[in-house]
Structure formats: C-alpha cells, structure tokens
Amino acid sequence: MRPELALIAAAVALAALVGCGEQRGDATRTAPQAVGTVPATDPRAVATVAVSLVDYALDIGEVAPRVERAGLIAFEATNDGLVRHALAVDGPSGQERTPPLRLGERATLAVRLPAGTYKWYCPLADHERRGMFGRLRVAE
C-alpha cells in the first residue's frame, strides 16, 4: 500500500473510533476530560447536577435527587470507578448520554427537562442491572 493511502486509511479508522459529537434537540455534550479540568457548563442551564459514577452506583450525596426548576439541566458526570462508565438520562426526546468515560474522566451533558420524574443510569454493559440507576425529580 502506498504511504499516502496508508495515512488516509489510518485517519479514517481513527475518525471512526473517535466518532462525531451528536446533538438532538437542545441536548449538548462535551468530550471526556481528565479530572482537574472543568468541563464547560452551558450558561443557559437552570441547574447543575454533579454526579460521581462509581462501581456500581450514581453517587450525588443525596437519597432522592431533585432539581427545583424545569429547563436546561447540566449533568456533570465524573467516573470515579475502576471501569468505564457513562451517564444516560431518559428525557422527553429519548435517551441522552455522555460518551463512555475512563477512570478520572468527566463530561457534561445538558438536557432540557420539563417538570416530571426521569430515569438516569449507566447505559454500559450490565451496569444498570448492577445498581447504577435512579430517578431524578424536576420541579416536583
């Protein structure tokens, strides 16, 4: 194979592995970042929910998470577990999620949520079945 074709093939393979960001509706996401850096939170967010993804739970320091106002909510997820985790929220537009995060990585997911109760969980492998799930109340 010619060197320039090999380089193009490698670039295409890398782009397929990295993937492209996706937007649905008002949801936005950030790329994983190492701990110590602060992901940019959308300035339009009415609330920010910090969540630690541990093996195998969503740790926010509260028993029943609640957000006072409906609107764009920023979820700042940090993987503090030993395996890859992600955060998904089942909102009115369907599932919105972060990319899989390695130990120490964090990402912000902003989702527009009207008043109601929503499921949030780790969508990877069997993590939800193992206990990485919960309910989030918004403006209730």
CATH code at position 132: 2.60.40.420
Question: Taking the complete model, does pTM exceed 0.85, yes or no?
Answer: no
Whether residue 1 lies inside any domain: the answer is no
The predicted pLDDT at position 26 comes to: 46
**Count of domains for the chain:** 1
Per the structure, the complete domain to which residue 107 belongs is given by 25-138
Token representation of residue 131: 């206990």
Whether 57 is covered by a domain: the verdict is yes
Q: Is the peptide bond before 56 cis (omega within 30 degrees of 0)?
A: yes
Measured in degrees and rounded to the nearest 5, phi and psi for residue 112 equal -85, 120
Backbone phi, psi, residue 9, to 5° = -60, -40
Q: What is the largest CA-CA distance in the chain?
A: 62
Report whether pLDDT(126) > 80. Answer: yes
Residue 15 lies in a domain: no
Strands 66-67 and 71-79: unpaired
Mean pLDDT of 15-33: 45
Give domain status of residue 18, yes or no: no
Least confident of 41-45, 106-110, 115-119, 134-138: 41-45
Neighbouring residues of 96: CB distance < 8 A, sequence distance ≥ 6: 24, 27, 29, 88, 89, 109, 111
* Mean pLDDT across the chain: 79
76 vs 38 pLDDT, higher one: 76
Question: Does 110 reside within a domain?
Answer: yes
The pLDDT of residue 35 is 43
Is residue 79 situated within a structural domain? yes
- Structural domain contains residue 121: yes
Q: Is residue 56 part of a domain?
A: yes
The pLDDT tens digits of the residues spanning 43-74 come to 788 999 999 999 999 998 766 688 999 999 99
Under DSSP, is residue 139 helix (H, G, I), strand (E, B) or coil? coil
* pLDDT for position 78: 96
